[in-house]
């Protein structure tokens, strides 16, 4: 908006009498945004997990170190216990919570996701200026060329550790501690099929800078992550819940990782009840919940949905739904072992 257009809309007599005042006010109003640098929000996916929160913090830190002072980390939901444990351990403050982009988010960097079904509410894709992630490309489109980095790494935290190195930015003890936690968490202590020798090498390097023993520290992480005794069925379901659209079938796929599936036996029926409620309240066609045993590396895949969705779900995992679920050995990763199978089975 220019001064001219502003004056054109005001009355002639007012313009004659108060023009010096109007000019001053107009100048202040128009000039103020020019002095303030627009904020740059670095944010991860909804139902934030450790990798998504840590990616936001460490990538914003990298940007700051490179002179981009307006970058700051944010989260789009409540922190889980594992993330709180890690931030507390390395004495790093919790990021700001932004759950709605209606009135802000002029410039946004997405970390650990690129699927708009999983991003903060009311975010305009055109406001995304960078993406750093390790998931499949989920229909992201943007009118301009942006920095868009996706690598099939075990964690976004590991990709960011590489970016520190590539830009010759030293990694502090705190940032190293956060990134090693992100990799250990996302790869379930490097056991997940998503992890590679590069992740193992990064863990070794970062753990050294952070001054932690990755085996001992990792065991502590898993203990915190899998301690769900105090959680409600709803808390368990929504703790790590992601939305997907499989060829028009609106879906939610959650996951909980435990050290022993027996701890979930008593809550199984309640989780199924909550899945039905969430399916209706979120207007979904299907809800899948992975009850994953990280010790046995197996998952019980709970299913709620209509008969058509059930058929495609059975096709995806090559079995019949028994007692509301299909059980699979050697299944840990939603990203690698569940989403691609559902995607293929629902393809029309
Ligand atoms: Mn994540
Ligand atoms: Mn991740």
State the distance from the centre of ligand 1 to the C-alpha of 44, rounded, in angstroms: 8
Q: How does residue 18 score in pLDDT terms, banded at 50, 70 and 90?
A: very low
Chosen domain end from 192, 207, 225: 225
Read off the pLDDT of residues 334-346 as tens digits, 9 standing for 90 and up.
999 999 999 999 9
For the chain, helix (H) and strand (E) counts, in that order, are 13, 11
**By mean pLDDT, which of 55-64, 220-229, 283-292 is the weakest?**
220-229
Q: Which two tokens stand for residue 315?
A: 């096709």
Residue 176: partners with Cβ closer than 8 Å, 6 or more residues away: 161, 206, 207, 209, 210
Q: pLDDT at position 263, please?
A: 85
Q: Which two tokens stand for residue 136?
A: 């499949």
Domain limits for position 117: 40-225
Q: Is the pLDDT of residue 22 over 90?
A: no
Chosen domain end from 190, 225, 260: 225
Q: pLDDT at position 262, please?
A: 87
Query: How does 69-106 read in b/e, with b if 16+ C-beta sit within 10 Å?
Result: eebbbbbbbebbebbebbbebbebeebeebeebeebbe
State the distance from the centre of ligand 2 to the C-alpha of 306, rounded, in angstroms: 30
**By mean pLDDT, which of 27-36, 76-85, 311-320 is the weakest?**
27-36
Residue 55: partners with Cβ closer than 8 Å, 6 or more residues away: 42, 44, 111, 112, 132, 155, 156, 157, 160, 182
State the distance from the centre of ligand 2 to the C-alpha of 249, rounded, in angstroms: 24
Give the CATH number of the domain where residue 205 resides: 3.90.1640.10
Q: What pTM value is reported for the model? A: 0.83
The total number of structural domains in the chain stands at 3
Specify whether 200 is located in the same domain as 242.
no
Cα(236)–Cα(272) distance, integer angstroms: 11
User: Kind and range of the H or E element at 36?
Assistant: none
Relative to the alpha carbon of 134, which ligand is closest? 2
State the distance from the centre of ligand 1 to the C-alpha of 236, rounded, in angstroms: 16
Read off the pLDDT of residues 64-102 as tens digits, 9 standing for 90 and up.
999 999 999 999 999 999 999 999 999 999 999 999 999
Specify whether 203 is located in the same domain as 237.
no
Cα(198)–Cα(200) distance, integer angstroms: 5
Specify whether 77 is located in the same domain as 164.
yes
State the distance from the centre of ligand 1 to the C-alpha of 150, rounded, in angstroms: 13
Chosen domain end from 173, 194, 225: 225
Q: Which two tokens stand for residue 296?
A: 């046995």
Read off the pLDDT of residues 284-305 as tens digits, 9 standing for 90 and up.
999 999 999 998 999 999 999 9
Residue 246: partners with Cβ closer than 8 Å, 6 or more residues away: 312, 342, 343, 345, 346, 347
User: Which residues have a beta carbon within 5 Å of ligand 2, which is an ion?
Assistant: 51, 112, 156, 186
Q: pLDDT at position 24, please?
A: 53
User: Kind and range of the H or E element at 132?
Assistant: strand 128-133
State the distance from the centre of ligand 1 to the C-alpha of 4, rounded, in angstroms: 49
Q: pLDDT at position 16, please?
A: 41
Specify whether 178 is located in the same domain as 271.
no
State the distance from the centre of ligand 2 to the C-alpha of 343, rounded, in angstroms: 19
Q: How does residue 30 score in pLDDT terms, banded at 50, 70 and 90?
A: low
Q: How does residue 13 score in pLDDT terms, banded at 50, 70 and 90?
A: very low
Q: Is the pLDDT of residue 14 over 50?
A: no
State the distance from the centre of ligand 1 to the C-alpha of 1, rounded, in angstroms: 41
Average pLDDT of the residues of the chain: 90
Cα(312)–Cα(342) distance, integer angstroms: 7
Q: pLDDT at position 147, please?
A: 97
Relative to the alpha carbon of 135, which ligand is closest? 2
Read off the pLDDT of each residue in 189-203 and give the average, rounded to a whole number.
Answer: 94
Specify whether 197 is located in the same domain as 330.
no
Specify whether 90 is located in the same domain as 126.
yes
Relative to the alpha carbon of 82, which ligand is closest? 1
Q: pLDDT at position 20, please?
A: 52
Specify whether 204 is located in the same domain as 319.
no
State the distance from the centre of ligand 2 to the C-alpha of 4, rounded, in angstroms: 50
Cα(295)–Cα(41) distance, integer angstroms: 37
Q: What percent of the chain has pLDDT over 70?
A: 90
State the distance from the centre of ligand 1 to the C-alpha of 313, rounded, in angstroms: 23
State the distance from the centre of ligand 1 to the C-alpha of 261, rounded, in angstroms: 22
Q: pLDDT at position 261, please?
A: 87
State the distance from the centre of ligand 2 to the C-alpha of 319, rounded, in angstroms: 29
């Amino acid at each position: 908006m220019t001064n001219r257009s502003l004056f054109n809309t005001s009355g002639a007599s007012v313009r004659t009498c108060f023009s010096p005042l109007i000019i001053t006010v107009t100048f202040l109003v128009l000039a103020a945004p020019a002095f303030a640098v627009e904020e740059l929000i670095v944010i991860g996916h909804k139902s934030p997990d450790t990798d998504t929160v840590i990616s936001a913090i460490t990538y914003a830190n990298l940007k700051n170190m490179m002179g981009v002072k307006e970058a700051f980390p944010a989260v789009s939901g409540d922190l889980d216990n594992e993330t709180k444990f890690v931030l507390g351990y390395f004495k790093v403050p919790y990021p700001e919570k932004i759950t709605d982009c209606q009135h802000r988010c002029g410039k946004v960097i997405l970390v650990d996701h690129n699927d708009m079904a999983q991003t903060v509410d009311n975010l305009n894709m055109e406001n995304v200026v960078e993406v750093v992630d390790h998931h499949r490309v989920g229909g992201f489109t943007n009118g301009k060329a942006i920095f868009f980095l996706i690598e099939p790494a075990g964690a976004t935290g590991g990709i960011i550790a590489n970016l520190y190195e590539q830009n010759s930015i030293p990694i502090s003890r705190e940032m190293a501690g956060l990134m090693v936690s992100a990799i250990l968490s996302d790869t379930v202590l490097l056991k997940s099929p998503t992890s590679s020798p590069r992740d193992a090498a990064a863990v070794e390097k970062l753990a050294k800078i952070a001054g932690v023993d990755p085996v001992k520290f990792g065991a502590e992480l898993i203990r915190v992550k899998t301690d769900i005794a105090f959680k409600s069925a709803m808390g368990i379901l929504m703790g790590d819940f992601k939305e997907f659209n499989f060829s028009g079938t609106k879906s939610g796929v959650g996951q909980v990782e435990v050290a022993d599936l027996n701890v979930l036996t008593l809550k199984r029926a309640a989780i199924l009840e909550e899945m039905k409620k969430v399916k209706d309240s979120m207007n979904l066609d299907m809800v899948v919940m992975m009850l994953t045993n990280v010790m046995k590396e197996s998952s019980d895949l709970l299913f709620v949905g209509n008969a058509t969705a059930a058929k495609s779900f059975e096709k995806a995992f090559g079995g019949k739904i028994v007692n509301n679920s299909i059980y699979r050995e050697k299944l840990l990763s939603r990203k690698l072992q569940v989403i691609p199978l559902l995607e293929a089975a629902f393809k029309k």
